[in-house]
Structure 1
Amino acid sequence: MLFGVMLAAALLLRLFVAPIWIGYDTDVRTFLAWADRAYTVGLNGLYTNAKDYFLDYPPGYMYVLYIVGMLHHKLAIPWESAGSLLVLKLPAMLADIATAVMLVRVALSKQGGMRSWAQALGLAALYLFNPAIWSNSAVWGQVDSFFMLFISATLLYQQRGKLQHASFFIALALLLKPQALLFGVFLLIDVARKRNWMTWLLCVLTGLATMAVISLPFAIGRGYGWLVGLYSGTLASYPYGSLNAFNVLALLGGNFIDLNQTFLHIPYQWIGLVLMVLAMIYVCLIYLLGYQRRGAVLYLSFLFITAVFMCMTKMHERYLHYGLVLALLSFIYIRDKRILWLFIGFSATHFINIADVLLRSFHQDYHIPRYDPLMLTVSAANVVLFIYACQLGWRLFVKSDQDRQEEQLATASAEQAASLEDISQEGQRSSNETEPGPVSFRETKLWKSIFQGEEGSIENGERGRGRWFTRKDWLYLGALVVVYTIIALFHLGGHTDPKTFWKPATSGEAVVVDLGSSHQITRINSFAGVGEGAYSYWFSQDGENWQDQIAVKSDHTQVLTWHAEEPKKEARYIKVVIDTQESAALHLHEIGIFGDGQTTPLHIQQVQALNVNPADEGAPASLFDEPKDVPYSPTYMNGTYFDEIYHARTAWEHLHKIEPYESTHPPLGKILISVGIYLFGLNPFGWRIVGTLFGVGMIPIMYVFAKRLFGRSEYALIAAFLFTFDFMHFAQTRIATIDVYGVFFIMLMFFFMYRYTTRSFYRHRLWATLIPLGLSGLFFGIGAASKWIVIYGGAGLAVLLAISLWERYREYRFAKKLLLRQASTEEEIPALEAVMEAELSPEESAQLQHVKRRFVPGTIWTLLWCVLTFVLIPVTIYTLSYIPFMMVPGPGHGLKDVVTYQVHMYKYHKDLVATHPFSSPWWEWPMMLRPIWYYQAKFMPEGMLSSIVSFGNPLVWWPGFIAVLFSLYMVFINKDKRLRLLLIAYGSQYLPWILVPRLTFIYHYFAMVPFLVLILTFYIKQFLEEGPPKRRQWVLGYLGGVLLLFFLFYPILSGMMIPAKYSFFLRWLPGWNFF
């Protein structure tokens, strides 16, 4: 009865205040507009033309808003009236009441364990009448309580171990707000901890099916791709340190300050990122250590979402609301009054925060000044509360009060016994045995790692004496390289583009050619080099009267390529007039004039220059001195395509100390392209050959990488074969862009980091471990100077290094514990004789002492070496790569300007707003929904086409991506370090693209392909080794299929001329357009 009265009073309170204030007018009016649109156009049309209509919420709450809109229309409720506000706010207010009911039911349940109705009602009252709660739903007009009802259900089911139910509710929550992703961290940990593939599969399918069914009315006729784009767009919104949230960023002056602005010379974006990563590691560590304790998932979810509010950028003032109900739920299970004090403290600061923002909004003031005293004071209070919450989490789940009391009472011998218990536990965790009971310390993985190396781990296949690279390897690799080199160099590009040029200094200059007699002019092809300008053709029969002007504009998209015009004019004389000459002066190399029915240029009888400026470079006659190099129908063999117009041009400019046009990427990639131009000339073969050879060089890297990982030549051949005949490896290394260089060095840096992880300064000399580590850093530096995508992989290298040093530390700690046991007397630890059944031999003791001595100096030298090889040397290489830029004559090319260039590059990629018909977001790449179309030839015979596209081999990418997804589960099951390394490499190159707001293309996935192939090979190896011999034939058939697809798609990867009808056969998906 009392509870019913309480609920009624709480609802009446909300019904009373809801119509008085419109609330936060921006949010309320937006919800009302969505409600009107949802009912007017229907659910299926709600997200249509989303680019012209602001709608950043997922479809879940649109069902509620549809009903709100329907009530407005059916009952003729005026928009923004008192009745309108009641209808709009009612769902969230009812969610408040439902949450209170949930709190009481949980508290009185067996799991909650509260036997007192008074205590349960007290918790409900704390929630229901908390102004930080009811002001959100009844005054502000937001739906956070509605969202948190589903999150609470998720965590409660997770607390009870019902992970499939939790997956259902978190999917529903995700359809309400993308913030639900944050609460999925602990669900992922719990699913992985189960080590049951069926649990993993059921949870994934439950979540996906739930989202698919609920989103179905919105997806009919448009698929589900828009939904991923909607989430990505929402996450990329609001580029500010804080959005009126009283948190760490606001305390540092970051409220509504651009993420790129700095505090103490550190961008707010990096401050938020570092703090969030540290907080996430801390909270996840506590959960991994204390997940088995009551209420762990609830309290740590409260702590994590509070950490998100406190540390992340782009936080709104309301987001602390999410933690309040979780604090009460965790108190029910943990019964620690300190949690209630946290709830009260955060409720107070949160209410002050939202009240301040609301009151300002009533006066159309939506931005709190960055140094507002109230904001700074409350932000500081929130920081204090957050630090206390972090400390309390450690005490509750890692080091409880009881643990501390036991430590104070422990004696020295008890400490020794505890050390031996740890050894036993290490053995239990490290052994593959499933039977309970103590395990001999000599059977643990840590013992084997110290004395034998990590058997069965990443070093698999490297044991034994003799050559690891045999004659068979040379045969396999040599054959593959030779075959691929022939295929890659075939029709790579022409060798004979024009060399001489005329660079007119001013507009108005002209050149007149006399053909000797009148001809029907059917085509004029001109080859423009670097620079920009415009020129025109004029026609005459007598050389006096000129008519029929044809204007040609040569801008940055027409560099180093042939421009064809078809005048179809009768003329004897043709005049070429320079109409405009930009500051980046145009270089005209050659002009070819074709008569009717001819495929070779007409003979030029006489060339006359008009209005020539002495400042010109070259001579006007140079335009007609290389007719043999003029193609009738230009193709990719004769000129640039796609981004070659930038990179090949800049490579030539570096050679000639000219201001580089392309400055949005580091210069080393273009310098490497310039080597080919220097050796073979300014022609397609010259600017493509170096990248193609780097593509050939990737094959030995892949082969060696796989041989080291999997130990057998056959597996190395499989990996190298799959990579060799992947479509993107072929297409992307034959185009003169810089991606090939970045990916090449990414492969090398991860290979040498892998080599480092297979060595230990306990078992090898220190310098032997530092060599591969240093080479990894060296290639990281070279790669970063080629393209910034390599820096993404640097995060993966750091993770692998940290894991390796952590393993050294675990071995060190294990050795110390064993030595402590040896120093104790037999009678001090009689209960553990079964575990420590044998004394250490003198050799074993000496090795353990060696481990104990080596850890600290080995770690220090390793870290100092990393500073040199991953920081100082890469910075030096990066700076030296700008030498061609600094050699350009004139001011603005000094070391200071190099630093300015980096700011320019960053802003370019951050602020790039562009569209492209063949761009694709990151989530489409593995499925190859939209290949990138690089080139289509003109002047093809009827019914024929020549195109170049880039995407993956379906038999490599599709099963490879499935293997990657499966590995996210398997890496927790078999704990294979090879799989872990490959996933870290893949993830470090892929995950950053989720946060990149600029236009992206499928070729950005190229950096992930080597690791996808190696992961796929990992499972092919398992497939062969765990089954009958006939599986070998199946694998051979699969490899044959990969090769067959390569040759089937070869024409559209290489620009080969084929019947247009053939391309229809290759169009497997709607987005696969080839002409």
Structure 2
Amino acid sequence: MLSTHVRQRIWSWGGPAFVTLLAAVLRLWNIGNPHMLVFDETFYVKDAWSQWNNGYSTTWPDNADEQFASGHTDIFGTVGSYVVHPPFAKWLIGAGMAVFGADSSIGWRISTALVGVLAVLLVTLIARQLFQSKLLGVIAGGLLAIDGHAIVMSRVALLDSYVMFFALCGFACVLLDRRWHERRLASALAARAASGRPLTWGPAIWARPWVIAAGVFFGLCTATKWSGLYFLAAFGLYLVVVDALARRRAGVPFWASAAILKQGPATFLLLVPVALVVYVVSWTGWFVTDGGYDRQFAATEGNAWTGAFSWVPLAVQSLVTYHQSMYEFHVGLSTPHPYQSNPWSWLLMLRPVAMWYEGVPEGTGGCTGDRVSDITSIANPLIWWAGAAAAVYLVVRLVLKRDWTIGLVLMGFVGGYLPWLLYTERTVFQFYSIAFEPYLILALTLVIGLVLGKPGDPPDRRKSGILTVGVFGTFCLLLTAFWYPLWTATPVPTWFVGLHYWLQSWI
């Protein structure tokens, strides 16, 4: 089917374009419905709009949601409100509102939807590079495009899709740095050997633009939610380990100490300070105005630092105090919520979040009988559970095969999932798992590649693999069609909703 150069080129660009277009249709269709603030949109949409206008998030009057949805969007005050997440993603949400209007629910959600669409394209390109297969790239992008959890999180203006996207951008940069670093390390070692210098530790490689780019994206991820720090730490550690293994393969005698003591500091300086600068810059609106929450704390008599740190600008002192308060909030958050879930249950998807549920009056839009409008973040069960099983399998396979592609994919879980296992007493939600869903998709895609087999395998083996993957993909598409109304607030009969509650905990 792809025996000609023209067909190869069409497939090379047409495959990613198709799954991206599919993702766009599923995420953008009727995105303005419902024209009400859904779940935590009550925080982020209003904060984004006041921040867009004032430079910082401000307070709103009581019962502002109904007024906001009815078009009274400029009723925010000028007093800084206490927000517990950094501001960057709210600038993006605010940009969408500035373009489409704050009175438009499309404007509330368009930026998040576009980020969700771009994530599908990015996963497609990452999988192509990671597995060296255009087919597996399209499969990975297609699975993310049709998964309900990813669709729902792209259709509501929450912050977590931005965490996912910027972490994924950082992941892509780490992937691209791998070969860049290997080539330059090999060249530097060859030059050193040719000059007769010993290879004791090898050189420190400073020319690593992809590491700098990764620092930018992990900084943006952290400037959205502090959980982005976990990705920064995980992939920073990964870069050190990869360098150590590269030096061992190259025959560097003291490869471990060289990676930690010589290249490690260089990598740290290329990555972490960049992320820190990006994070601080994201607070520019708070710095250049006077009314943000705690903005004047250090300027108040008796609050400024004394002693060795008295030289620190008062605005920075105030920001540090604000961050201390934010930290105390996050570690102490334990308010019971009907949809909270233990992170240990996320891979099993035991308690997804119902973000919207409303009865539809008879006769509305031609509706007859008992109908409801629902937005539930239940993932496509076949994709999610198969992906979870694939992730567990890859842990075992990594021990047996020591495959670097497996290690890189699993680092996405290290940064996006493992830290949450420490917060079993904190109020957390299943939808946080969107941060590591791309790696769950990549894990599943890697296993699909193993099922498909290699071109040199016996014909019967190839046919059975293709048939298995084809059947799996067909059922995934059917389940997406079955669940799509419940991901998009489409009015449906109550009996139809009941068919989707496969587990008692989903109700």
Could you state the TM-score of these two structures normalised by the residue count of structure 2? 0.79
Q: Structure 2: any 5+ residue segments left out of the alignment?
A: 55-77, 189-203, 296-314, 363-368, 455-460
Give a deviation string over 1:873-907, Cα, whole Å, max 9, x none. 22111111112223444484233222122111111
- Partner secondary structure for residue 317 of structure 2: helix
- Partner secondary structure for residue 898 of structure 1: helix
**2:415 counterpart of 1:988:** yes
* Amino acid of the structure 1 residue aligned with 2:475: G
* Amino acid of the structure 2 residue aligned with 1:872: P
Q: 1:662 to 1:699 in 2, by over 3 A?
A: farther
1:1019 aligned residue (430, 433, 447): 447
Count of residue correspondences: 427
**2:24 counterpart of 1:485:** yes
Q: 1:722 to 1:764 in 2, by over 3 A?
A: farther
8 Å Cα contact 2:236-2:268 kept in structure 1: no
8 Å Cα contact 2:12-2:134 kept in structure 1: yes
Q: 1:1069 to 1:640 in 2, by over 3 A?
A: same
**2:116 counterpart of 1:688:** no
Equivalent in the alignment of 1:882: 283
Give a deviation string over 1:770-809, Cα, whole Å, max 9, x none. 0211111111111110111211112321231121121133
1:656 aligned residue (43, 53, 64): 53
Taking the aligned partners of 1:925 and 1:914, their CA distance within structure 2 comes to 19
Q: CA deviation at 1:751?
A: 1.7
Q: CA deviation at 1:938?
A: 4.3
**2:437 counterpart of 1:1003:** no
Equivalent in the alignment of 2:484: 1050
**2:185 counterpart of 1:762:** yes
Taking the aligned partners of 1:864 and 1:743, their CA distance within structure 2 comes to 27
Please give the residue correspondences for 1:14-33 in structure 2 after superposition, counting only pairs within 5 Å.
none
* Amino acid of the structure 2 residue aligned with 1:866: T
- Partner secondary structure for residue 762 of structure 1: helix
Taking the aligned partners of 1:962 and 1:738, their CA distance within structure 2 comes to 27
Q: CA deviation at 1:995?
A: 1.1
Equivalent in the alignment of 2:66: none
Equivalent in the alignment of 2:340: 919
Equivalent in the alignment of 1:963: 390
Taking the aligned partners of 2:279 and 2:112, their CA distance within structure 1 comes to 20
Taking the aligned partners of 1:660 and 1:687, their CA distance within structure 2 comes to 21
Q: CA deviation at 1:816?
A: 5.6
Equivalent in the alignment of 1:789: 227
8 Å Cα contact 1:951-1:1002 kept in structure 2: no
Taking the aligned partners of 1:715 and 1:890, their CA distance within structure 2 comes to 51
1:728 aligned residue (118, 127, 149): 149
8 Å Cα contact 1:688-1:734 kept in structure 2: yes
**2:218 counterpart of 1:679:** no
Equivalent in the alignment of 2:269: 868
Taking the aligned partners of 1:673 and 1:659, their CA distance within structure 2 comes to 21
- Partner secondary structure for residue 656 of structure 1: helix
Taking the aligned partners of 2:209 and 2:260, their CA distance within structure 1 comes to 15
**2:231 counterpart of 1:804:** no
Q: 1:768 to 1:887 in 2, by over 3 A?
A: closer
Bigger share in strand: 1
Q: CA deviation at 1:768?
A: 9.2
Give a deviation string over 1:898-943, Cα, whole Å, max 9, x none. 2122111111111112111111111111111111010112453241
Q: 1:492 to 1:798 in 2, by over 3 A?
A: same
Q: 1:768 to 1:951 in 2, by over 3 A?
A: farther
- Partner secondary structure for residue 937 of structure 1: strand
8 Å Cα contact 1:945-1:1058 kept in structure 2: yes
Equivalent in the alignment of 1:717: 138
Equivalent in the alignment of 2:195: none
* Amino acid of the structure 2 residue aligned with 1:477: P
Q: 1:662 to 1:758 in 2, by over 3 A?
A: farther
8 Å Cα contact 2:96-2:110 kept in structure 1: yes
8 Å Cα contact 2:219-2:275 kept in structure 1: yes
* Amino acid of the structure 2 residue aligned with 1:653: S
Bigger share in helix: 2
Q: Which has the larger radius of gyration?
A: 1
Please give the residue correspondences for 1:902-917 in structure 2 after superposition, counting only pairs within 5 Å.
902-917=323-338
* Amino acid of the structure 2 residue aligned with 1:479: F
* Amino acid of the structure 2 residue aligned with 1:1008: F
Q: CA deviation at 1:984?
A: 2.1
* Amino acid of the structure 2 residue aligned with 1:678: A
8 Å Cα contact 1:918-1:1001 kept in structure 2: yes
1025-1034 or 685-694, which deviates more? 1025-1034
646-655 or 771-780, which deviates more? 771-780
2:210 aligned residue (754, 766, 772): 772
Give a deviation string over 1:854-884, Cα, whole Å, max 9, x none. x96x987854543333222221111111122
* Amino acid of the structure 1 residue aligned with 2:221: G
CA RMSD across the alignment: 2.5
**2:17 counterpart of 1:473:** no
Q: CA deviation at 1:1056?
A: 0.4
Equivalent in the alignment of 1:829: none
**2:65 counterpart of 1:645:** no
Taking the aligned partners of 2:441 and 2:319, their CA distance within structure 1 comes to 37
Please give the residue correspondences for 1:62-73 in structure 2 after superposition, counting only pairs within 5 Å.
none
Instruction: Using CA pairs under 8 Å that are at least 6 residues apart, name the structure with larger relative contact order, 1 or 2.
Output: 2
8 Å Cα contact 2:352-2:506 kept in structure 1: yes
- Partner secondary structure for residue 354 of structure 2: strand
8 Å Cα contact 2:240-2:263 kept in structure 1: no
- Partner secondary structure for residue 323 of structure 2: helix
Taking the aligned partners of 1:662 and 1:889, their CA distance within structure 2 comes to 15
- Partner secondary structure for residue 1066 of structure 1: coil
Q: 1:651 to 1:662 in 2, by over 3 A?
A: farther
Could you state the TM-score of these two structures normalised by the residue count of structure 1? 0.38
Taking the aligned partners of 1:679 and 1:952, their CA distance within structure 2 comes to 31
8 Å Cα contact 1:756-1:769 kept in structure 2: no
Q: 1:743 to 1:815 in 2, by over 3 A?
A: closer
Give a deviation string over 1:206-247, Cα, whole Å, max 9, x none. xxxxxxxxxxxxxxxxxxxxxxxxxxxxxxxxxxxxxxxxxx
Equivalent in the alignment of 2:356: 935
Taking the aligned partners of 2:442 and 2:90, their CA distance within structure 1 comes to 29
- Partner secondary structure for residue 341 of structure 2: coil
Q: 1:660 to 1:979 in 2, by over 3 A?
A: farther
1:739 aligned residue (160, 170, 174): 160
- Partner secondary structure for residue 490 of structure 2: coil
Equivalent in the alignment of 1:1030: 464
Taking the aligned partners of 1:859 and 1:471, their CA distance within structure 2 comes to 45
Please give the residue correspondences for 1:172-571 in structure 2 after superposition, counting only pairs within 5 Å.
470-493=9-32
